[in-house]
Amino acid sequence: MLRKMNTENFDKLLETKNIELMELYEIKTSKNKKMTSDPSQIDFNSKQLYNRINAEFDKKFKSSKAYQKMCETELQNHI
């Protein structure tokens, strides 16, 4: 004895979730990755963040073995 289940509520829920997902996907893919070459257009907080990120990259690079080896070869070439 098979009973036909009422799937109307489930179908509505699934449809609304699909719409929400598509909206989120469109928002995610449509975000403009703003690139500017003019530093005056960058706000103060972003400049501070960029400086901190660059300082960490620099610190990490200078503590790496590749950088230390590069410095050693430069010193040997100058001597």
pLDDT tens track for 7-38 = 888 889 999 999 999 988 887 777 655 556 67
Q: How far is 56 from 62, CA to CA, in rounded Å? A: 10
The pTM of the full predicted model, rounded to 2 decimals, is 0.42
**Which structural domain range is residue 62 located in?**
55-79
Separation of CA 59 from chain center: 21
Residue with tokens 């790496």: 64
In a domain, 75, yes or no: yes
Judge whether 68 lies within some domain: yes
Please report whether residue 69 resides in a domain: yes
Number of domains in the chain: 1
61-77 residue pLDDT tens: 999 998 889 888 888 88
